[in-house]
């Protein structure tokens, strides 16, 4: 750039080259200086733009790496959560299968059976219970367990139930 500037100045001072402007060497030199000034400013702006672009590119790459790391981390977390959910689903299926078997055993048992809630209200009775007592599920469900003693089912059955419940700790 310095060599081109020296050659352009020499040529312009001797009224040669593209900057030779009429017979006035000062006007020609001013035209050349204006050209080099515009070129210098353009070069500086271009360099600033390239530097800014490079800085933005580095920041974008850093942000991309950070995002990729977060995606990998979150994917691992989701895999762990998914594995836990799969275990929970499997356990619930096993529990559901056991409950289904218990419900079938309750329903098909030859022994009278009933289920109460914590307040000792009858929730369900099996067909054997209905056959022994004569009360259908619709008639007795929702009633208090004390009803059995009041209905004349004998203190033996009622007290047996209470004793068994007491032994089970329920």
CB 146 within 8 A of CB 122: no
- Per-residue tokens: 30: 């001013």
Mean pLDDT, rounded, for 116-121: 87
Task: Tell me the three state secondary structure of residue 124.
Answer: strand
Q: What is the pLDDT of residue 155?
A: 53
Q: What is the pLDDT of residue 77?
A: 97
Q: What is the pTM of this model?
A: 0.48
Q: What is the largest CA-CA distance in the chain?
A: 138
Q: What is the pLDDT of residue 167?
A: 63
Q: Summarize the chain as % helix, strand, coil (round to 5).
A: 75, 5, 20
Q: How far apart are CA 62 and CA 89, in angstroms?
A: 40
> Among 149, 115, 153, which residue's Cα sits nearest to residue 134?
153
Q: Write out pLDDT tens, residues 27-60.
A: 888 888 888 888 889 999 999 999 999 999 999 9
Q: How many CA atoms lie within 13 A of 161 on its CB side?
A: 18
Whether residue 157 is predicted with pLDDT greater than 70 in this model: the reply is: no
- pLDDT averaged over every residue in the chain: 86
Q: What is the pLDDT of residue 35?
A: 86
Question: What percentage of the chain carries pLDDT values higher than 90?
Answer: 48
Bigger pLDDT: 159 vs 108: 108
Mean pLDDT, rounded, for 96-105: 94
Bigger pLDDT: 78 vs 16: 78
Mean pLDDT, rounded, for 131-148: 86
Mean pLDDT, rounded, for 13-27: 78
């Amino acid at each position: 750039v310095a060599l081109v500037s020296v050659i352009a100045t020499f040529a312009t001072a001797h009224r040669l080259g593209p900057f030779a402007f009429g017979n006035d060497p000062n006007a020609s030199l001013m035209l050349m200086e204006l050209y080099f000034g515009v070129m210098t400013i353009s070069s500086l702006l271009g360099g600033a733009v390239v530097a800014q672009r490079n800085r933005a590119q580095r920041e974008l790459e850093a942000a991309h790496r950070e995002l990729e790391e977060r995606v990998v981390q979150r994917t691992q977390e989701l895999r762990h959560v998914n594995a836990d959910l799969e275990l929970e689903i499997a356990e619930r299926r096993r529990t559901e299968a056991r409950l289904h078997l218990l419900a079938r055993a309750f329903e098909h048992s030859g022994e009278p059976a009933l289920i109460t809630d914590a307040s000792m209200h009858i929730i369900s009775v099996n067909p054997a219970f209905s056959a022994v007592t004569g009360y259908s599920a619709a008639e007795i469900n929702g009633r208090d367990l004390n009803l059995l003693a009041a209905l004349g089912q004998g203190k033996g059955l009622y007290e047996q139930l209470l004793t068994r419940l007491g032994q089970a700790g329920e």
